């Protein structure tokens, strides 16, 4: 698959932007101005950017508690994201959701859920709605290896196969479910990799290679738009920081630090940066200019969030299902 040079540079910019936003959140988290738990996606930027670069604005995504990267890669507004982390009414969920309940239908982000596996049936239902309305959209669901342990995944994929729904299930296998390694929870290769390709397109790929993610998801999107049904894509990656909060809040002793160091060497942002420099797509000066631009945007977003008002108490029961 030929990928245009400007597409590669744009994908790198988005990955760098997500990484710098995460770093900024992490460095400011203990100031306690962000009144929400945060689950950072440092190390997993290539999955979000590679997948969302293959989508159109009219396509949908459903996400999970670790969703900052998915939101920004789908075109979400940075000011609204940072305001949501501060629980301000200018946030993308009007300050009611916090980091784990991001939603912005204007860019096709149909919601993230703090319930492990909670986005899987929602995204499958979106696929059913697309099919019933005969739309040309696709529904992409991001979930982790902890959610892959849940029975709802098997029910949802079975239903999607039965109805040939345009749903793409993207498993971000970051190796850890809180403090439990995937090898202590799953026996061998995921069962869906044994499915007949005519029923379910399945791939297991390098989730730290943004170009491989982009190519594979593009193939799955074409598969879905042609009416062939769902796909299951496992992206191998790694959660560099702890489960939640900032680095200093990560519990000791549950993982070998050598393992984390080995994965840091495979950092998706740094390795892609090296490839682009070696291929003369970007210079060091180009990257420094990008970083300055992103840093200014981040500082503006935090300033916007801090100056934004809290939701008024009389609106406490608004936006609830009744």
Domain assignment of residue 311, yes or no: no
Domain assignment of residue 322, yes or no: no
pLDDT score for 317: 83
Domain count, the chain: 1
Cα 317 from Cα 311, distance rounded (Å): 11
Domain assignment of residue 66, yes or no: yes
Cα 209 from Cα 215, distance rounded (Å): 10
The boundaries of the domain holding residue 235 are: 5-178+187-304
The strands making up 139-144's β-sheet, listed across from edge to edge, are 109-112, 60-63, 139-144, 167-173, 231-236, 201-206
Tokens 């200019």 found at:
289
Domain assignment of residue 314, yes or no: no
pLDDT in tens, the chain (322 residues): 899 999 999 999 999 999 999 999 999 999 999 989 999 999 999 999 999 999 999 999 999 999 999 999 999 999 999 999 999 999 999 999 999 999 999 999 999 999 999 999 999 999 999 999 999 999 999 999 999 999 999 999 999 999 999 999 999 999 999 999 999 998 888 889 988 888 999 999 999 999 999 999 999 999 999 999 999 999 999 999 999 999 888 888 899 889 999 999 999 999 999 999 999 999 999 999 999 999 999 999 999 999 999 998 888 788 776 6
CATH number, domain containing residue 17:
3.40.50.970
Domain assignment of residue 312, yes or no: no
Domain assignment of residue 317, yes or no: no
* Residue 144 near residue 177 (C-beta atoms within 8 A): yes
Domain assignment of residue 318, yes or no: no
* Residue 304 near residue 79 (C-beta atoms within 8 A): yes
pLDDT score for 252: 82
Domain assignment of residue 313, yes or no: no
């Amino acid at each position: 698959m030929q990928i245009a040079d400007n597409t590669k540079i744009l994908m790198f910019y988005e990955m760098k932007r997500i990484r710098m936003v995460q770093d900024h959140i992490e460095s400011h988290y203990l100031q306690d101005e962000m009144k929400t738990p945060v689950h950072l996606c440092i190390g997993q930027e290539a999955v979000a950017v590679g997948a969302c670069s293959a989508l159109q604005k009219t396509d949908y995504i459903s996400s999970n508690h670790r969703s900052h990267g998915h939101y920004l890669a789908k075109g979400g507004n940075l000011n609204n994201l940072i305001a949501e982390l501060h629980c301000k009414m200018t946030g993308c969920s009007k300050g009611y959701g916090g980091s784990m309940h991001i939603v912005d239908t204007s860019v096709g982000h149909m919601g993230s859920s703090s319930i492990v596996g909670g986005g899987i049936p929602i995204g499958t239902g979106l696929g059913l709605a697309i099919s019933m309305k005969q739309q040309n959209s696709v529904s992409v669901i991001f979930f982790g290896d902890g959610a892959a342990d849940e029975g709802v995944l098997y029910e949802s994929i079975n239903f999607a196969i039965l109805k040939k729904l345009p749903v793409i299930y993207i498993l971000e296998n970051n190796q850890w479910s809180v403090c439990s390694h995937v090898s202590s929870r799953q026996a061998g290769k995921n069962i869906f990799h044994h499915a007949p390709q005519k029923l379910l397109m399945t791939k297991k790929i390098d989730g730290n290679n943004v170009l491989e993610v982009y190519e594979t998801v593009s193939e799955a999107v074409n598969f879905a738009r042609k009416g062939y049904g769902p796909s299951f894509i496992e992206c191998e990656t790694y959660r560099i920081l702890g489960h939640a909060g900032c680095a200093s809040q990560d519990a000791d002793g549950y993982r070998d630090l050598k393992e984390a160091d080995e994965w840091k060497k495979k950092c998706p942002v740094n390795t892609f940066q090296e490839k682009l420099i070696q291929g003369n797509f970007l210079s060091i000066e180009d990257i420094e200019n990008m970083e300055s631009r992103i840093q200014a945007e981040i500082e503006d977003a935090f300033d916007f969030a801090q100056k934004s008002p809290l939701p008024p108490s009389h609106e406490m029961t608004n936006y609830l299902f009744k």
